[in-house]
Structure 1
Protein backbone atom coordinates (compact mmCIF):
# COMPACT_ATOMS: atom_id res chain seq x y z
CA UNK A 1 0.00 0.00 0.00
CA UNK A 2 1.30 3.47 -0.89
CA UNK A 3 2.05 6.01 1.80
CA UNK A 4 -0.53 8.78 1.29
CA UNK A 5 1.64 11.39 3.02
CA UNK A 6 4.56 10.58 0.71
CA UNK A 7 2.25 10.89 -2.32
CA UNK A 8 1.18 14.33 -1.03
CA UNK A 9 4.80 15.45 -0.56
CA UNK A 10 5.64 14.33 -4.09
CA UNK A 11 3.01 16.78 -5.38
CA UNK A 12 4.84 19.74 -3.86
CA UNK A 13 7.61 21.39 -5.91
CA UNK A 14 11.20 20.81 -4.86
CA UNK A 15 12.85 23.62 -2.93
CA UNK A 16 15.05 25.59 -5.36
CA UNK A 17 18.76 26.10 -4.73
CA UNK A 18 19.48 29.82 -5.07
CA UNK A 19 22.72 31.76 -5.14
CA UNK A 20 23.20 35.20 -3.65
CA UNK A 21 25.56 37.57 -1.87
CA UNK A 22 25.52 38.18 1.86
CA UNK A 23 24.82 41.87 2.47
CA UNK A 24 24.36 41.89 6.26
CA UNK A 25 24.81 39.62 9.26
CA UNK A 26 23.09 39.73 12.62
CA UNK A 27 24.11 36.86 14.83
CA UNK A 28 23.40 33.62 12.94
CA UNK A 29 20.99 35.26 10.46
CA UNK A 30 22.22 36.65 7.14
CA UNK A 31 20.50 38.93 4.66
CA UNK A 32 21.19 37.60 1.17
CA UNK A 33 20.71 39.60 -2.03
CA UNK A 34 19.72 37.54 -5.06
CA UNK A 35 20.94 38.37 -8.59
CA UNK A 36 17.52 39.75 -9.56
CA UNK A 37 17.64 42.24 -6.68
CA UNK A 38 15.45 40.38 -4.19
CA UNK A 39 16.42 39.99 -0.55
CA UNK A 40 15.93 37.04 1.74
CA UNK A 41 17.03 36.05 5.21
CA UNK A 42 18.79 32.77 5.87
CA UNK A 43 20.34 30.97 8.80
CA UNK A 44 24.00 30.09 8.56
CA UNK A 45 27.49 31.46 8.58
CA UNK A 46 29.62 33.54 6.29
CA UNK A 47 30.92 37.05 5.96
CA UNK A 48 29.53 40.12 4.23
CA UNK A 49 30.32 39.95 0.50
CA UNK A 50 30.45 36.12 0.31
CA UNK A 51 28.55 34.36 -2.48
CA UNK A 52 26.50 31.54 -0.95
CA UNK A 53 24.03 28.82 -1.88
CA UNK A 54 20.66 29.13 -0.10
CA UNK A 55 17.83 26.60 0.05
CA UNK A 56 14.70 26.87 2.18
CA UNK A 57 16.08 29.66 4.38
CA UNK A 58 19.39 27.92 5.18
CA UNK A 59 22.84 28.74 3.80
CA UNK A 60 24.14 25.45 2.41
CA UNK A 61 27.65 26.56 1.55
CA UNK A 62 29.89 28.95 -0.29
CA UNK A 63 29.22 29.52 -3.99
CA UNK A 64 31.97 30.16 -6.53
CA UNK A 65 32.55 33.82 -7.40
CA UNK A 66 31.32 33.71 -10.99
CA UNK A 67 29.61 36.31 -13.13
CA UNK A 68 25.84 35.91 -12.93
CA UNK A 69 23.75 36.41 -16.06
CA UNK A 70 20.05 37.05 -15.45
CA UNK A 71 17.75 36.29 -18.40
CA UNK A 72 14.12 37.30 -18.04
CA UNK A 73 11.54 35.46 -20.08
Structure 2
Protein backbone atom coordinates (compact mmCIF):
# COMPACT_ATOMS: atom_id res chain seq x y z
CA UNK A 1 0.00 0.00 0.00
CA UNK A 2 1.09 3.59 -0.64
CA UNK A 3 2.87 5.06 2.48
CA UNK A 4 1.10 8.42 2.02
CA UNK A 5 -2.32 6.76 2.06
CA UNK A 6 -1.31 4.80 5.18
CA UNK A 7 -0.40 8.06 6.93
CA UNK A 8 -3.67 9.70 5.88
CA UNK A 9 -5.62 6.74 7.27
CA UNK A 10 -4.01 7.33 10.68
CA UNK A 11 -5.02 10.99 10.85
CA UNK A 12 -8.29 11.78 12.61
CA UNK A 13 -9.70 14.18 10.04
CA UNK A 14 -11.25 17.57 10.81
CA UNK A 15 -11.30 18.62 14.49
CA UNK A 16 -14.46 18.31 16.58
CA UNK A 17 -15.28 21.70 18.09
CA UNK A 18 -17.54 22.50 21.04
CA UNK A 19 -19.89 25.44 21.45
CA UNK A 20 -23.34 26.75 22.32
CA UNK A 21 -26.09 27.54 19.80
CA UNK A 22 -26.88 31.26 19.99
CA UNK A 23 -29.10 31.75 16.91
CA UNK A 24 -31.28 29.41 14.85
CA UNK A 25 -31.58 30.77 11.28
CA UNK A 26 -34.41 29.92 8.89
CA UNK A 27 -32.04 28.82 6.12
CA UNK A 28 -30.95 25.54 7.74
CA UNK A 29 -28.00 26.97 9.64
CA UNK A 30 -27.27 27.93 13.24
CA UNK A 31 -24.72 30.28 14.81
CA UNK A 32 -22.55 28.55 17.39
CA UNK A 33 -20.43 30.43 19.92
CA UNK A 34 -17.27 28.52 20.71
CA UNK A 35 -16.06 28.34 24.30
CA UNK A 36 -13.23 30.74 23.42
CA UNK A 37 -15.74 33.33 22.15
CA UNK A 38 -15.54 32.83 18.37
CA UNK A 39 -18.70 32.52 16.29
CA UNK A 40 -19.35 29.88 13.62
CA UNK A 41 -22.30 29.63 11.26
CA UNK A 42 -22.78 25.94 10.52
CA UNK A 43 -25.22 23.77 8.60
CA UNK A 44 -27.74 21.81 10.62
CA UNK A 45 -28.04 18.84 8.24
CA UNK A 46 -29.73 15.81 9.83
CA UNK A 47 -29.10 17.09 13.36
CA UNK A 48 -31.26 19.62 15.15
CA UNK A 49 -30.41 22.06 17.89
CA UNK A 50 -32.29 24.67 19.90
CA UNK A 51 -30.88 27.95 21.12
CA UNK A 52 -28.77 27.45 24.23
CA UNK A 53 -27.90 23.82 23.44
CA UNK A 54 -24.27 22.72 23.69
CA UNK A 55 -23.24 21.03 20.45
CA UNK A 56 -20.31 19.46 18.63
CA UNK A 57 -19.31 20.93 15.25
CA UNK A 58 -17.17 19.12 12.68
CA UNK A 59 -16.31 20.22 9.16
CA UNK A 60 -18.87 23.06 9.06
CA UNK A 61 -21.82 20.91 10.22
CA UNK A 62 -23.47 20.03 13.49
CA UNK A 63 -22.10 16.72 14.74
CA UNK A 64 -24.57 16.12 17.56
CA UNK A 65 -25.49 17.45 20.96
CA UNK A 66 -22.76 17.61 23.60
CA UNK A 67 -23.30 16.74 27.26
CA UNK A 68 -23.81 19.72 29.59
CA UNK A 69 -20.91 19.03 31.93
CA UNK A 70 -19.48 21.63 34.32
CA UNK A 71 -16.34 23.38 33.12
CA UNK A 72 -13.51 24.65 35.30
CA UNK A 73 -10.63 26.80 34.17
CA UNK A 74 -7.30 26.21 35.89
CA UNK A 75 -4.59 28.85 35.74
CA UNK A 76 -1.01 27.74 35.98
TM-score, normalised with respect to structure 1: 0.75
Query: How many angstroms does 1:66 deviate by?
Result: 1.2
Residue from 55, 59, 70 that aligns with 1:56: 59
- Residue-by-residue CA offset, 1:30-71 (whole Å, 9 max, x unaligned): 000000001111111211000001001100101001123456
User: What root-mean-square deviation, in Å, do the aligned CA atoms of Structure 1 and Structure 2 show?
Assistant: 2.6
Q: 1:49 to 1:16 in 2, by over 3 A?
A: same
Cα distance in structure 2, aligned partners of 1:70 and 1:14: 27
Query: Unaligned regions of 5+ residues in structure 1, if any?
Result: none
Cα distance in structure 1, aligned partners of 2:70 and 2:20: 12
Q: 1:42 to 1:70 in 2, by over 3 A?
A: farther
Please give the residue correspondences for 1:27-38 in structure 2 after superposition, counting only pairs within 5 Å.
Answer: 27-38=27-38
Please give the residue correspondences for 1:1-73 in structure 2 after superposition, counting only pairs within 5 Å.
Answer: 2=2, 6=5, 14-26=13-25, 27-44=27-44, 45-69=48-72
Query: Unaligned regions of 5+ residues in structure 2, if any?
Result: none
Query: How many angstroms does 1:25 deviate by?
Result: 1.0
